[in-house]
Amino acid sequence: MDGVVEALTALSGWPALVVVGGLAFGESAAFVGLFLPGETALLLGGALAATGRVSLPAMVVVSTVGAIAGDSVGYEIGRWSGPPLRRSRAGRWVGEERWNRAERFVARHGPLAVMLGRWVGVLRTLVPTLAGMNRMPYRRFLLFNALGGAAWAATVVLLGYLAGASWRRVQAHVGEAGAGLAALVVAVLLLRWVVRRRRRRRR
């Protein structure tokens, strides 16, 4: 990972956009996220924009498109070759514990898992594949994928931009903050569901 980060810091302009967009794409499409967390690439992309070596709006757009497209490819991989992939050498390398954790998350939250999982490390890599394996309707998947991908990419790139040369300090807390945000959203939705259910019973 250090080698990739070092190489990326030497880039500017279109090469930097291509590499960051490619890493955002590959996170779910090729399980790159298990080696290089997406936040790292996007934070560094934002830091590069802060130095003026790349356009900030372009970095946000490229990161967003890469993230959404990568998840869509991950969905198709899961839809057409999910079970064999999980049993393959690559699937065994991912580890049964990671698969099970992501599978429970998808089963519990349904399409919402696609958007919430975007903010949580390993879930961001595996949830799209599991959504495809579980035959989640693609239009529904795409909606939550686009919402989550756009919000996540813009937020992380902007954090890197604001942090500038101190982006590594931010990196240590982005994952924790994302997991906390996802938990908060789930809690709010659960509370909303409970309130609605009680109102219906009273009626």
Q: What is the pTM assigned to this prediction?
A: 0.76
- For the stretch 114-124, pLDDT in tens is 888 888 777 88
- For the stretch 18-67, pLDDT in tens is 989 988 898 877 777 667 677 888 888 898 898 888 999 999 999 999 99
Nearest-5° Cα angle at 145, 192 to 176: 70
Residue 196: what pLDDT?
Answer: 61
Residue extents of the structural domains in the chain: 2-202
